[in-house]
Amino acid sequence: DTGVSQDPRHKITKRGQNVTFRCDPISEHNRLYWYRQTLGQGPEFLTYFQNEAQLEKSRLLSDRFSAERPKGSFSTLEIQRTEQGDSAMYLCASSWTGVNEKLFFGSGTQLSVL
């Protein structure tokens, strides 16, 4: 059973460095979502793809953030010039378009910016 997988699980970086996270969704799912979750809060929507098209981006996604899903399969989320405020859990989820769009989540990438 292959669920949503994210890599790496943990990332520690210094302020100003660039980081990239990868998400592999469930293979038959056409939608892929990125969320950010800070300690003690619920996840906040960042962006989503339907196949390879990025259809919506949150205002939370500053120009230092970029996400891609080049072939409609895996996705990457890159943060350039990281800041301490970027420290959070980055969650990826996937779903199949339908009436009841249950999102399946990965275990997340925990980012710590020192």
Partner 1 sequence: AQKITQTQPGMFVQEKEAVTLDCTYDTSDPSYGLFWYKQPSSGEMIFLIYQGSYDQQNATEGRYSLNFQKARKSANLVISASQLGDSAMYFCAMISLSSNTGKLIFGQGTTLQVKP
Using CB under 8 A as the criterion, which residues of the chain lie in contact with partner 1 when the complex forms? 31, 33, 40-45, 48, 55-56, 89, 91, 93, 95, 97, 99-108, 110
Closest approach, Cβ 45 to partner 1, in A, equals: 5
Is residue 21 within 8 A of residue 11, CB to CB? The reply is: yes
Q: Which is nearer to partner 1, 22 or 80 (CB)?
A: 22
CB of 108 vs partner 1, minimal distance in Å: 5
Strands of the sheet with 75-79, listed across from one edge: 5-7, 19-24, 75-79, 65-68
Least Å distance, CB 60 to partner 1, is 13
Per 3-state DSSP, what percentage of the chain is helix, strand, and coil (rounded to 5)? 5, 50, 50
